[in-house]
Amino acid sequence: MSSNLTTDRPTFVTHLQCSITGERYEADTLHGLSRAGRPLLVRYDLDAVKATLSREVLAARPTDMWRWRELLPVRGTENIVSLGEIETPLIPIPKSGGGNVLVKDEGRLPTGSFKARGLVMAVAMAKELGVTRIAMPTNGNAGAALAAYCSRVGIETIVFCPEDTPEINVREIAMQGARVWRVNGLIDDCGAIVGKGAAEGRWFDFSTLKEPYRIEGKKTMGLELAAQGGWRLPDAIFYPTGGGTGLIGMWKAFDELEKLGWIGPERPRMYAVQASGCAPIVRAFEAGEEHAERWEDAHTVAAGIRVPRAVGDFLILRAVRESGGKALGVGDPAILKAVEECAKQDGLLLCPEGGATLAAYREALKTGEVDEDERVVLFNCATGLKYPMPAAPQTLDRHGAIDFDAL
C-alpha cells in the first residue's frame, strides 16, 4: 500500500462554499447541493499548506494521487479505500496526433476510468460522514468506480444506467457488488429516480457535482499535469465534457497551485469537447449564455459524454471562457475515425470520448484555433476495451492447406 496513506495526515479544509452565491457551509457535515441548488466547492487554508508542504517534499513521495493529501479533503486515512490510484502516464501519439500531442491515459486507473479519481474521494468522505447507502445515475464508468469502492468499504449501492449503456459497463457494476438497473431513458432520467429516492430518505444522492468531493478527486488530474510538466502547464487541454467535473476540478487545481506559488498566472486554453449529437455546452458557449439548456434527443457513440444537462454548466463555461478556450462539438464519424487511426497508427486504443478529443484537436488545427507547435494534452478518460470494436476475422483450418501468401 502507498506510503502516502499515512495516518498522521494534516488536513487543511476550512469550509465549503456555494459555487454561485459564495455562501459558506460547514465542513465535516454531510452536504448535497447548496441552498441555491448549485455545487459546493471545498476550500482550504492554502497559506498553511504553503507553510507545510514544498514541491521538493512532494517530489520525494510516491506519485499516486495520495501524494496530494494536503490538498484533499479526507481527514481520516482509515476511511480511504484505495485500489491503487496511480499517476496516469502521458503518451505521445506522433502519427495520429502530432509531435506535440500527449494523451493522458486515464484508463489505467482502478476500474479503467478517470471516474475512480472522483469516486475514491467521495466514497472516503461518505464513509467519514457516516453514509451507509448511496445511489447514482451513470453512463457506466462512474457506476463501476462507485461499486468497487463502496463494496470495499461496506457501503450499499444502487446504480441506474440508461437503457443502452454498453453491456460490459452494466456487468462490471454488478460484478463489483452494486445493485444495478437499466432505465428506458437518458442519464438525467436516471438522475430523477435517484433524486426521488433521496428526497424520500432512501439513500444519499451521488449524482455528478451533487456531493462536494468528487470534484476534489478529479482535481488531481490538474495537479498531476502540473507536476508531470515540471510545473509548466500545457498550452491547451482538450477535455471530453459531460458533467464537466474534471474540467472544473482542473481549473480549481490550477488556482490552488498558483496560490501556493508553485505555478504562475499562465493557464492552458481549456477546450470542452462534446459530441455534436449532445452539445449543450457548445450551444451555450456559442450563444454567449452563462447556463446551458437541456439538449433534447441526445445521441452519440460516446456514451460517457451523452449528458443532456449539467448542474455545473456555468462553472464549465466560466473556466472555458476565462482560459481563452472554446467548447467544441465533433460528429460521431470523426470520433470513430480518430479512435481507429490512433489504435492502428500509434497502438493506443482510446475510448470514444478520448477519440472525441483527438477529433476536436484535429479540427482545431485545421481552423487555426491551435498551432501544431503548441504543447497539447488530450484526455482519454477510460480504457478503450470497454467499448464495441469491429468484428473479428475468419477461422483458418489447421488441418487444411494454409495459403501463406494470402495471410
Q: Counting contacts by CB under 8 A, is residue 99 touching a second copy?
A: no
Q: Counting contacts by CB under 8 A, is residue 250 touching a second copy?
A: no
Residue of 182, 283, 318, 321 that binds a second copy (CB under 8 A):
182
Q: Report CA dihedral (129, 248, 159, 138) to the nearest 10 degrees.
A: 180
Residue of 32, 98, 185, 229 that binds a second copy (CB under 8 A):
185
Cell representation of residue 167: 453491456
User: One symbol per residue from 304 to 343: x for binding a second copy (CB under 8 A), - otherwise; what is it?
Assistant: ------------------------------------x--x
Q: Counting contacts by CB under 8 A, is residue 395 touching a second copy?
A: yes
Q: Counting contacts by CB under 8 A, is residue 170 touching a second copy?
A: yes
CB of 60 to a second copy, least distance (A): 9
The residue count for binding a second copy (CB under 8 A) is: 81
Cell representation of residue 102: 500527449
Residue of 32, 98, 177, 229 that binds a second copy (CB under 8 A):
177
CA 270 to CA 290: how far, in whole Å? 16
Sites for a second copy among residues 193-222 (CB under 8 A): 193, 196-197, 200, 202
Query: Among 167-175, 238-246, 328-336, 367-375, which window interacts with a second copy (CB under 8 A)?
Result: 167-175
CB of 116 to a second copy, least distance (A): 10
Q: Which is nearer to a second copy, 63 or 276 (CB)?
A: 63
Query: Among 176-184, 232-240, 242-250, 301-309, which window interacts with a second copy (CB under 8 A)?
Result: 176-184
Q: Counting contacts by CB under 8 A, is residue 189 touching a second copy?
A: yes
Return all residues near 393 (Cβ < 8 A) that are at least 6 apart: none
Cell representation of residue 407: 495471410
Residues in the chain: 407
Q: Which is nearer to a second copy, 340 or 369 (CB)?
A: 340
Sites for a second copy among residues 110-149 (CB under 8 A): 110-112, 147-149
Rg (CA), the chain: 21
CA 156 to CA 179: how far, in whole Å? 8
CA 225 to CA 95: how far, in whole Å? 22
Burial 42-60 (b: 16+ CB within 10 A, else e): bbbebeebeeebeeeebee
CA 120 to CA 122: how far, in whole Å? 6
Residue of 78, 347, 372, 373 that binds a second copy (CB under 8 A):
347
Phi, psi of 172 (to 5 degrees): -60, -45
Q: Are the C-beta atoms of residues 223 and 64 closer than 8 Å to each other?
A: no
CB of 163 to a second copy, least distance (A): 6
Q: Which is nearer to a second copy, 46 or 170 (CB)?
A: 170
Q: Which helix (H) or strand (E) holds 196?
A: helix 187-199
User: One symbol per residue from 39 to 78: x for binding a second copy (CB under 8 A), - otherwise; what is it?
Assistant: -----------------------xxx--------------
Count CA within 13 A, CB hemisphere, residue 1. Answer: 10
CB of 207 to a second copy, least distance (A): 15
Amino acid (1-letter code) at residue 323:
S
